[in-house]
Each structure stands twice: as C-alpha cells, then as structure tokens.
Amino acid sequence: MNTGTRTVPLSGPYIGEREEELVLETLRSRRLSLGPNIERFEELFAERVGAPYAAAVSSGTAGLHLLCHLAGIADGDEVITSPYSFAASANCFVYEGGIPVFADVDPRTYNLDPDAVAAAITPRTKAIVAVDIFGYPCELDPLRALAAEHGLAVIQDSCETLGAAYKGAAVGSHGTSCVFAFYPNKQITTGEGGMVTTHDEDTWRLLRSLRNQGRADSGGWLDHARLGFNYRMSDLTAALGIAQVEKLDEILSLRSEAATRYEELLAGVDGVRVPLADDEDHVRSWFVYVVELEEGIDREHVLASLERDGVQSARYLPCIHLQSYMRERYGFAAGLCPVAESLAQRTFALPFHTAIAAEDQEYVVDSLKRALAG
C-alpha cells in the first residue's frame, strides 16, 4: 500500500495537440474506417523502419497471428520462441495449432540464445518467433542462418523495438517480416494497434486481405477470396499513429535521456544490474527500464518497499512456459529454461516513459536504495 503522498506511475503515453488535431480532423471527416489515414500511417512507418511494405492491424498480437497463418503453421508444427517474453509471442502460433518449444535466453541480452535454438530444432520445427525483448535487437543473423539451413520461417516480434538498430540498420530493414505494437506503454501509441512490415509484396497483399475478412483487392465489399479476420485498424487510430510517428525522433531521444539518467543514478548501487549497454551491432530503443537484482536479494521485499513509497513497478517478465495455461496444456515445468527462469525471478521494471521527470527518477532511485538497505 502506498503510504506516502506521491505516486510515480510505471508508464504513460506521450500525446499532445497534434494528436488531438488529427483525431478531431478524422472525426469531422466522418470516415472512421478504411479512410486515408491508414495508408499514410503505413507509408510513414515503412519509410521509418526501412521496409518497402507495411500493413496496419488492430494489435501486435493480430499482426503476429497473421504472419504465423501465412507461414503455414498448422496442427502439430513446432515453433521455437523465447520463454522470456510476453505471452503473445507464443499465443500467435498456438492459435494455428502450433506447439510451443521454448529455447533458453542469453543472460546478457535476455534474447533467444542461437545455440539453444539450434539444439531445439527437430524435423517437426516449422518456424522461429524471434523476440527483440525490451527494445534490444535479437541475434537475427545467426537465427536466420539456422532457419535457412533447416527451411524454417522467421517471424520477428519487434513489438517493443521501434527505433532500434541491428548491425547498423533499423529493425525492420533486414528482410524478415516484423511486427510492432502500439499499446500505450510502447514508444508510440495508437491506444491499441500494430504494424506488420515486410519486404515481400505478396505477403503484404495477403496481409491486407487477411486483416480485412479475406476480401479480394479487386473485389466488392461482400467478395471474400479467403478465410480472413477482422484485424483492421480504424482511421481514428491511424490518425493518432501519424501524429506519433511524426514525433518519433523526439520520443526516442527523450527516452534515451531518461535511460541514461537512470544509469547514472544507479551507478554504484550494489546488487542492481542496469540494462545491457549498446554495442556496434545492437542499438536499443528504450521501451521499459528493467533492472536485475543479484541472486539472494528478496525482490518481493524491494517491490513492497517501492510500493509504500508510491513507486509503481512490475515483475517483468514472468516466463511464458510457467503460466498456468501453458503448464496445463503442455505439461511445462520449472527447470526447462534455467536462465529465463532465474531472470524472471530477479528482474522488474521501474517507472519509465517518454515524459518522466528527472525528479521522479531521483525519487525512484532513492526509494530503491532505501528498499535495498532495509
């Protein structure tokens, strides 16, 4: 229970007058769906991430599901993904009958360890869902090499990673199809929404049809060429997206400044590991600020102490394979992915968003120091 007078929220959107203006303009235009904003948002987004095509969808999960559907994942196919991610990274292929195979993560990057992925491949493996967790790009080249060797599809779950770069080029530009997401805690938000970027024109055409009830490009409103979904983004939502992409540089730089401030404030605080620094091949886009406690520190004590000070935090991330529905459905148990399981017990997110005030960050770190001392 918060016993103080102050609350520092975990997250929050960065929206202003431009968002209001574009949303209002769209409302007044009375074209609330299938209007011009979708294409504009897609064009701006595709250009931004260096992909030739982009298709807006109703959520990141919807985008991931469509890519799994297009990869032909069907009953009994095994799909390898990360256990240290959000549930949608696995749910997206479970919807199609795919069986989750969790490969362990690298303790430095928290992303899939390519050696663990290689060891998990069987003759039934169909695809890899490669997650860029917490905005840090995954080991795309080795994963793609494995996929090429074994004839697997690669789907990149970049829902947390808009603005990151891998080997000197934007995530989205490397040739794999990627999915980005716009829930309000993301770098940019549309309330709910997602974007699939691809380098393949046929995939893009199919994505546009599948999100729109399987309608044919050339057909009428009630012509359905294939079994589709209603995964459309509304024009109101896309209006928000346009305003947000317009200020993406500002957002990324404010988030990066906030992350640097945390790193400075946390320097020398014993028992806390700050997020991995960038290197030549990996430039993170700051999504959340997740710290790792040294083994032996009682995370629950720390979180309870932060809560008393009004500092919101979250246990990021629990392992997907240990969620109750996964245990019940597939019989997964602790011990399957020791690195991810250890991280899942020791990591948590501090308040972090584009407009976080420096004083709030100082307050958070003071509170964390008290929690660790007591």
| Torsion angle in degrees (nearest 10) through CA of 300, 302, 308, 313 | -80
Closest contact distance (angstroms) between CB of 308 and ligand PLP is 28
Tokens standing for 294?
Answer: 């040294």
> C-beta of 131: minimal distance to ligand PLP in Å?
5
CA gap 123, 5 in Å, rounded: 58
- Options 81, 85, 203, 305; binder of ligand PLP; rule CB under 6 A: 85
Binding to ligand PLP by CB under 6 A, coded x per residue (else -) over 157-176, reads: x-xx----------------
CB 308, CB 329: distance < 8 Å: no
Task: Pick the binder of ligand PLP from 11, 59, 177, 198 (CB under 6 A).
Answer: 59
Q: Is the peptide bond before 248 cis (omega within 30 degrees of 0)?
A: no
- Beta strand 125-131 with 78-81: parallel, antiparallel or unpaired? parallel
Instruction: Note the helical H segments in the chain.
Output: 17-29, 36-49, 60-70, 88-94, 114-120, 140-150, 201-211, 235-246, 248-266, 299-308, 324-330, 338-346, 358-373
Binding mask 118-157 for ligand PLP (x = CB under 6 A): -------------x-------------------------x
The reply to whether 70 sits near ligand PLP by the rule CB under 6 A is no
Complex with ligand PLP: residue 163 or 310, whichever CB lies closer: 163
In this structure, what token pair is assigned to residue 317? 């991330």
Q: Which is nearer to ligand PLP, 59 or 213 (CB)?
A: 59
Using CA atoms, how far residue 249 sits from 32, 163, 169, 213, in Å, is 28, 9, 16, 35
Asked if 88 interacts with ligand PLP (CB under 6 A), we say yes
CB contact set of 338 (below 8 Å; sequence gap of 6+): 104
CB of 149 to ligand PLP, least distance (A): 26
Q: Which of residues 202-241 bind ligand PLP (CB under 6 A)?
A: none
Question: What number of other Cβ atoms are within 10 A of residue 352's Cβ?
Answer: 23
Whether 108 contacts 281, CB under 8 Å = no
Rounded to whole angstroms, the Cα distance separating 229 from 67 reads 13
Window 177-206: residues binding ligand PLP (CB under 6 A): 181, 183, 194
| Region from 48-56, 57-65, 213-221, 272-280 binding ligand PLP, contact rule CB under 6 A | 57-65
Pick one of 86, 204, 231, 332: the residue that binds ligand PLP (CB under 6 A): 86
CB of 138 to ligand PLP, least distance (A): 11
Q: Is residue 316 involved in binding ligand PLP (CB under 6 A)?
A: no
Locate tokens 């196919």: which residue?
Answer: 77
- Scanning 82-90, 115-123, 198-206, 356-364 for contacts with ligand PLP by CB under 6 A, the matching segment is 82-90
DSSP state of 315: -
**Residue 98 interacts with ligand PLP (CB under 6 A)?**
no
Per CB under 6 A, which region of 12-20, 59-67, 136-144, 362-370 contacts ligand PLP? Answer: 59-67
Check binding of 89 to ligand PLP (CB under 6 A). Answer: yes
Residues near ligand PLP (CB under 6 A) are: 59-61, 85-86, 88-89, 131, 157, 159-160, 181, 183, 194
